[in-house]
Amino acid sequence: MTLDRDAFMRYSRHLLMADVGEQGQETLLESRVLVVGLGGLGCPVALYLTAAGVGHLTLCDPDNVDLTNLQRQILYTEADCGEPKVDCALVALRALNPSVTFNTHCAVVGDSVLPEGGADFDVVIDCTDNLAARHWLNRRCHELGIPLVSAAALGWEGQLMTFDFARGSRPCLACAIPEDAGEPLANCGNSGVIGPVLGVMGSLQAIATLRLLLKGTNGADNEPYRPLLQRFDGRRETWTRFAIRPVSQCPVCGDEQPETHGNDIHQDKNTERKQL
Amino acid sequence: MIKVLFFGRLGDIAGAEERKVSVPEQVRTVDDLRQLLGEDGEALAKALNEPQVMVAVNQDLVEWDHVFEDEDEVAFLPPVTGG
């Protein structure tokens, strides 16, 4: 692939960077990324990746735009209320960068989006709002060896965990949060969330994704693989980092994994919960 | 003495983000510590015992049977799952 004149102008601020450059931009244009959830996290993630020229984006969300979303979900306008998020997002993102190809799924994430037998994605981004969907994505990405960039927010707090399953199979999300923990009592719907906290976390997910995609062209990025939980406190504008250690009895990545681990969770009714 | 950190709304419930705690000898694991701290009040006990709460010792996430040592920093993180 070679960049045409318009692409040279559009991506000039990438091309100026030694560790992106033309080769990096071409890598981005050939990349395939799945964004699961188009709420407060998914909006900035989809906007930044579309703007950056990540060439093939798949968007997945089962919900329609609601007036209560507009305080933080920056892809949508008042006129979008009642319409499927994936449709509204598609219009806005195509207007931003028509050279990106989009696939949309107006559905809860499942086998049709991320098949058990293999899926053609370089990175999966977890922008969902419930642990059932997060754990399903964790199992499936672990099984397929696809890097997973998972973020969450509530109130003034955000957290980010990136698991590069292409580089190392352990630890995983279930090492940090047990799969059988159920859903917490507090969520954005009953406890609220500050919009820009989602913007910070979504932006960081987009940064993590670009770094993962550019890994092959970015010689500087050769740090050992050490998965972290990064926590952001918006009230104090502070970050805290925690190391995530592999848990030996982890049912997903531990020493004794059940044979059928890819299917179990998906058949759980909990995964049919709405996501955003 | 150990240093206990309460993140986010756990700090709101505990009334402090940080506490120095001297622990009796029989309190050895971070789960023991959680139960000890929960004796301060029902709201804190309930919040600390939510099954999605994470605990870290010296900025490493650990399991609840982890045995901490004197001078350790033990952080309790409330669940954050919205998006």
Q: Which of the residues of A are catalytic? A: 188
Cβ contact B62–A245 (<8 Å): yes
**Confidence band of A258 (pLDDT split at 50, 70, 90):** low
**Confidence band of A164 (pLDDT split at 50, 70, 90):** very high
Those residues with Cβ within 8 angstroms of residue A172's Cβ, 6 or more apart along the chain or in another chain? A138, A142, A163, A165, A250, A252, A253
Nearest chain B residue to A37, by CA: B83
Nearest chain A residue to B61, by CA: A244
Phi-psi region of B74 (alpha: psi -120 to 50; beta: other; left: phi over 0): beta
Residue B75: list chain A partners with CB under 8 A. Answer: 240, 242
pLDDT digits (tens, 9 = 90+) for A46-92: 999 999 999 999 999 999 999 999 999 999 999 999 999 999 999 99
Six-digit token string for A39? 């709420």
The residue type at B10: L
Residue B69 located in a structural domain: yes
Residue B44 located in a structural domain: yes
A2 burial via Cβ count (<10 Å: 0-12, 13-18, 19+): exposed
Angstrom CA distances, A99 to A12, A45, A254, B13, stand at: 16, 17, 42, 50
pLDDT digits (tens, 9 = 90+) for B28-64: 999 999 999 999 899 999 999 999 999 999 999 999 9
Please report, for the domain that includes residue B47, its CATH number: 3.10.20.30
A75 burial via Cβ count (<10 Å: 0-12, 13-18, 19+): buried
- Segment among A166-170, A238-242, B10-14 with least mean pLDDT: A166-170
Distance from CA of A179 to the nearest CA of B (A): 9
Residue B83 located in a structural domain: no
Residue B29 located in a structural domain: yes
| CB of B51 closer than 8 Å to CB of A181 | yes
Among residues A116, A128, A153, the alpha carbon closest in space to that of A270 is found at A128
Residue B38 located in a structural domain: yes
pLDDT digits (tens, 9 = 90+) for A144-163: 999 999 999 999 999 999 99
Cβ contact B79–A177 (<8 Å): yes
* pLDDT score for A31: 98
* Chain A contact for B19 (CB, 8 A cutoff): no
Residue B82 located in a structural domain: no
Residue B56 located in a structural domain: yes
Number of domains in chain B: 1
Where b means 16+ CB within 10 Å and e means fewer, B26-52 reads ebebbbbbbeebbeeeeebeebbeeeb
* pLDDT score for A87: 98
**Confidence band of A275 (pLDDT split at 50, 70, 90):** very low
ipTM at complex level: 0.95
Whether A219 has a pLDDT exceeding 60, the answer reads: no
Nearest 5°: the CA angle A248, A252, A257 is 75
Six-digit token string for B40? 């301060």
User: Which residue range(s) make up the domain with B55?
Assistant: 2-77
Cα A211–chain centre separation: 13
What's chain A's average pLDDT? Answer: 91
